[in-house]
Amino acid sequence: MSAWFFPEILLTLAGVGLILMDALAPEGIRRRIPLFALLASLGILAWSLVPASRVLPTSWLSLFVSDGLSAVFKPFFLLCLVVVTAMACRYRLEADETVRGEFLALPFFPTAGLCLLASARDFLAVFVALEMVSISLYLLAAFHRAKPASLEAGIKLLVMGGLSTGFLVMGIAWLYAGAGTTDFSRLLLTQAGQGANPAALVAAGLILAGIGFKVAAVPFHAWAPDVYEGAPTPVTAFLAVASKAAGFILLIRVFGLGAFALESIGTYFRPILLTTGIATVTLGTLAALPQRDLKRLLAYSGIAHAGFMILALGTAGEGGIGTVVAYLWAYLLASLPVFLFINELENLHGSTDMRHLDGLGRREPGPSLGFTLCLLSMAGLPPLAGFPVKLAVLANLWNAGETPALVVAVIMAVAGLGIYLTPIRVMYWEREADVIPARRFAPFLIWVMLVAGFLGVGLGLKPQWLARVAEKSLNPLPVVESIRE
């Protein structure tokens, strides 16, 4: 087996191994499962970063591709797994402590599916990878069996995931009926020689709707706030970052680089993408402003960020695609530390209500400073990493001549400051909480949050790394294409 498949194989073996260890190992070993899970995730991430010749086997070229986009996003998903595993090790399951091994093992399976999805070049491979991701996430969202909100989150994610899959499969069926193939390269060649036919337009619309559920774009966003709030916080972090990134990879492959990016179809769908982006960023921003629960606030914030990325993609061209890739990395580096902070806050107080931040800036200055910097990065303020990527979105809209979308994006970027300044105001300017917990944040959180915050400052001052990541994602294929007759 080629080394190209090693991350996916290692992830699957690690997940199975952790489940077997939890079921069969002695009590002394079971207590060390969190350590084993964290070491496994770190080891697989480290292995994926080692430069090596990992040529895709010829027999798999019709389903997967080894290109710049896959090279950029496999470490992305593995880094998500490391942080989510660290959060899961600390998360309080209370009555469900007996199944902690399963809680730590299950995220390895959707991560394997996401790594496959990053390389998929055929809709059949896309469907299999998405199902591998979805099934584990349904279980994880409803994992807190003692909490009705968690069960509700699992059911809602299951129902909306089923609808998403239904739209996607119907779109694939229409596409196959019209073109006789589900391979991205063959579709591009087939569509390049003809105008937009009704079957291709219907297929594109259905596939766009299916992906819209994944990225929580308007009008397919309604599931996100309740699922984010009810699911365990590590699962919420995975949904907010990794699952959303998967949807945008599909959008890039299908509507940015694939057959639907051609002028014959793009003429119809670029205005739809821009309109969807305007509606998504507007609703996400305005709905986030009055929220008092931090996880619901981040759910609507994530919807707004999805809107900005859809606007960038709607401008067409490599500039928009590179902007989306850089935006996703900046979003990961800011939002995962925020979720880690919220995870620790929930461990102390038992909820994620914003009132628990009252006076926190004076009691816990280190974590609060890092949390503040990450929030300001998500707001897109200089000199933090969120500023250059949000500016790039506006620049793409300006260069494309999309003035209405540009005006809305600017207004929502300014209005969105209130989303992130509200928790900061509560931390530093509100009175001390009535009940201060006896326990304090774990010492590791001080360093993690400060490193994350100042990393955001560094990338904001020198965004060349984000630019290189965006450029690498557009690299052509390092393997020979195999489009057989």
Tell me the pLDDT tens digit for each residue of 53-106: 555 555 566 677 878 888 899 999 999 999 999 999 888 776 555 567 888 999
Average pLDDT over residues 284-303: 94
pLDDT of amino acid 391: 94
Average pLDDT over residues 166-184: 86
Contact (CB, 8 A) for 347 and 91: yes
At residue 433 the predicted structure's pLDDT band, cuts being 50, 70 and 90, is: low
pLDDT of amino acid 102: 87
**What residues have CB less than 8 Å from 365, skipping those under 6 apart?**
none
pLDDT (tens digit, 9 = 90+) per residue, 126-135? 999 999 999 9
pLDDT of amino acid 113: 93
Is the C-alpha dihedral spanning 182, 188, 193, 198 positive or negative?
Answer: positive
Longest dimension (CA), the chain: 73
pLDDT (tens digit, 9 = 90+) per residue, 18-66? 999 988 888 888 889 899 999 999 999 998 887 655 555 555 666 778 7
Contact (CB, 8 A) for 355 and 322: no
Please state, in angstroms and as integers, the Cα–Cα distance from residue 424 to each residue in 175, 239, 361, 366, following that order: 49, 24, 8, 14
pLDDT of amino acid 255: 82
Q: Is the pLDDT of residue 450 over 50?
A: yes
Q: Is 183 helix (H, G, I), strand (E, B) or coil?
A: strand
Size of the chain in residues:
485
355/361 Cα distance (integer angstroms):
13
Q: Can you read off the two tokens belonging to residue 439? A: 């326990």
Which long-range contacts does 394-403 make (Cβ < 8 Å, 24+ apart)?
A: 396/311, 396/312, 396/315, 396/319, 396/320, 396/323, 397/311, 397/312, 397/315, 399/315, 399/319, 400/315, 400/316, 400/317, 400/320, 402/274, 402/311, 402/314, 402/315
Q: Is 439 helix (H, G, I), strand (E, B) or coil?
A: coil
Q: Is the pLDDT of residue 192 over 90?
A: no
Residue linked to tokens 């009940």: 435
pLDDT of amino acid 358: 85
Across 203-217, 281-295, 432-446, least confident range: 432-446
Please state, in angstroms and as integers, the Cα–Cα distance from residue 292 to each residue in 18, 21, 122, following that order: 37, 40, 42
Phi, psi of 216 (to 5 degrees): 60, 45
Alpha helices in 239-384 (DSSP H): 244-251, 263-288, 294-314, 318-349, 360-363, 365-379
